Amino acid sequence: MAGEAHENGRRHAGSLMVGQTISHYRIEAQLGSGGMGVVYRAHDQRLQRKVALKLLQERGAGRTERWARVLAEARAASALNHPGITTIYEVGEEGEHLFIAMELVTGRTLREELRGGAMEARALLRVGAQVAEALAAAHAQGIVHGDIKPENVIVQADGRVKLLDFGIARQLAAETLTATQSAAPAWAPDSAVAGTLAYMAPEQFRGEVTDARSDLFSLGVTLYELAAGKRPFPGPTPAALAAQIQNHAPPALNAAGPKVPGELARVVHKLMEKQPGARYQSAQEVKVDLTNLSRDLELGVTPTAVAGKRAVAVLPFKLLTPNPEDEYLGVALADSLINQLGSSGELLVRPVNSVLRYARQAMDPLLAARELNVQVLVDGSIQKYGQQLRVHVQAWSAGDGSTLLSAKHDSEMTGLFALQDKIAEGLARALGFKPAAEVREEPPTRNPMAYELYLRGVERLSRLNRWDTRTAVEMLENATRLDPKFADAWARLAEACVLMGGTMEPGPLWMGKAEKAVRRALTLDPENAETHVARARMVWTPAKRFQHRAALRSLSEALRHSPGWPQALVWRGCILLHVGLMEEAQQGLLEALASNPDDPFALNFLGQTYLYRNSYDEGTEYMVSALTIDRGNVWANLFAPTGPLYSGQLEKAESLIRAGAQVLPDDPMLIACEGLLWAKRGERRRAEKLLLSALRKPKSLLHTHHMVHTAAAGYAVLGNTTKAVALLGTASSNGLPNYPMFRDDPHFKSFRKNPGFLRLMAKLKREWEGYAQEFGKR
């Protein structure tokens, strides 16, 4: 009763602060309270933004010393800059108040998530990997959290995780432990005290010096609770709890149920080892293992096409004779080897954009192999003296650290192309398979400057942003001017122009350039897989009226020359799901993910296949995975609300619409989603206004057919059958002739016998059967 009265008193005192101003923060509402203070939503009157303002509780004697310690830790934590850590804007004192102004984060804590029971394994792994990544960033700066528990981890609507209370959590944990050991406060299993003690590491109870590994123990307890739905140490009293944590092994996590993967149980139990030296030694190691397990679960059943194939990564080569003018060589050489090794179809080769982070850092090859989840890792070095090159290449077996290949090659710069072929041939033989092609004695161009521009353009293209892609176009255009018969340069120019015109700067200028480059490249080299992919993406655009068959044929041709090439598989999957061949799309996208597990496009398109098959929760999981990897991904931001909208999780849908609008404000697709949201809530006038606005706006960054389909669903919910059927006709004739999706969409159930809808379905069914006959399973 005394504790309840104290808490009620604190809430009352907290409510009295609403409307007051601390420093330049005007308090608007109380958000919650905890062991060290009360948290408010406040308005920063200086910078005109909303913040979370924590006012720390006064504890009488020793306040000055205590506050000094808290301020010191909070100020150190304010230097942390990581997307998974809540940003501390300011710490200070004013009068009787010690305050910390922080980033205002919205979402659900893991404690709130647990109210629904144990967490599904894929979601748990995604959360755990993000927490481990955030801890790794903090530990690298010498900062320990000190109180990792479900209350201090918040999951935002888009699946991103934030750690709360850096800078004050460790002080709270220490004070809680001291108070418990000295005063033995009134105990209840769910009290704030239990909520801190239950996650403490054994060495904290023993009074030993602690370090970052104590955070890892707390993370293990948290992950155990998420997986099992209950704590591993449920001690009914502080003494019993302390004894369990120090002396008792937690119950086997596998016993919590068949939905807990064995490898997850291994990771969690290793985190909860009693001795720090027996645990994981860094949060980065934890992140790597959780991420790799998450990737394995993403794939589900391994596609037949990739079963038994080894995964290989080729790191950018290190330049031993540093010169900014020559840095492009390391990435360009790696990119060439990646393409040549991948073209055989016998290996799963990580694409160049997945290894770029290793370009300028010293790295233990076995750790890199573990991070990339590959069985073989290739790295090397380049020495350049004038026009002379010496390249050293090594291949390592990740399993036992043995060397599979170590070779040195000397060459002139003008002979670099032949050198790339020789290195690829040596690697292929070391890995036990025949090279995809014989070594070519003739270089692709005899113009040294054209070849250098080509290599520089290849390196720029790997960066995947607008400005470097523009620069790549200029370099490749100059290369083709110097040698108009340089087929590889034309092929990469086509790829660059399609990338600009299809994603970065949509418009006829880039597609005109792409068309010219594709035509020239195919004339010079009809077997170039990159050119066939570029052609497919070019003809599958609104400007070319979505030529599904032509695009799919080009992608099939690309895969004939380069089996298993991820880029071709991803875009083939995308087009297949648009024409309603979802099973075929799913298999190809899973195959692409086997080579590039972190491809947000493949994850998003795979999510769409599940959404289109009415598996809404699973589809949303893939979208959220894509957003976790790439917060700014256009497709994932615009499609993420769809699953919750269809499954009736309207609050979650609204949160995802708001999150997407922060990245893509005023996009018609999100406006149409909001229209559907309000239609399902029964707000007719508001829904109609939004749907009309979406249809009248300039086109979405997505292809417009998706927005039109969503608007049709909105009008169907409102009972406007005529408008809904007309919009479905528009969507189907402009790139989305998806017969099974329209047939099974629950929003269209009410008018499935409507004559106009039946005519449309009959037409789409004939088209769908034609696609299935040519591109479906044999």
Tokens of 82: 């990581």
Q: Write out the two tokens for 672.
A: 């149409």
* Contact criterion met (CB below 8 Å) for 215 and 144: yes
The residue among 378, 343, 337 whose CA lies nearest residue 358 is 378
Q: How many angstroms separate the CA atoms of 38 and 42, rounded? A: 12
Task: Please give the sequence-ordered ranges of beta strands (E in DSSP) within 204-293, or none if there are none.
Answer: none
Question: Distance between the two ends of the chain, CA-based, in angstroms?
Answer: 72
Place of tokens 């299809």: 502
Cα–Cα dist 337/343, whole Å: 10
Q: Is the Cβ–Cβ distance between 221 and 272 less than 8 Å? A: yes
CA dist 373 and 366 (Å) reads: 10
Distance in angstroms (rounded) separating the CA atoms of residues 736 and 745: 14
Residue type, 773: Q
Structure tokens at 383: 């020495």
CA distance 126 to 123: 5
Cβ neighbours of 440 (radius 10 Å): 11
Tokens of 426: 């040596």
Q: How many C-beta atoms surround the C-beta of residue 756 within 10 A?
A: 15
H-helix or E-strand spanning residue 115: none
Per DSSP, the three-state class of 99 is: strand
Residue 359: partners with Cβ closer than 8 Å, 6 or more residues away: 316, 330, 331
Q: Determine contact, residues 27/18, Cβ cutoff 8 Å.
A: yes
Cβ atoms 154, 107 nearer than 8 A: yes
Q: Which of 515, 522, 444 is nearest to 483 (CA)?
A: 444
The helix/strand/coil state of 434 is coil
Q: What is the DSSP letter of 27?
A: E
**Reading across the β-sheet that carries 97-103, which strands appear in turn?**
21-22, 25-33, 37-44, 49-56, 97-103, 88-94
Rounded CA-CA distance 411/368 in Å is: 28
Distance CA 565, CA 599 (A): 13
Amino acid at 195: G
Angle among Cα 81, 86, 88 to the nearest 5 degrees reads 75
- Cα dist from 646 to 642, 673, 698, whole Å: 6, 10, 25
Active-site residue, 147 included? yes
Residue 760 buriedness (CB in 10 A; 0-12 / 13-18 / 19+): buried
- Of 609, 683, 679, nearest to 639 by C-alpha is 609
* Number of neighbours of residue 381 by Cβ within 10 angstroms: 16
Torsion of CA 633, 488, 330, 384, to 10 degrees: -160
- Which residue among 44, 147, 421, 483 is the active-site one? 147
Let me know: does 286 contact 216? Beta carbons within 8 Å. yes
Hey, which residues are catalytic here?
147
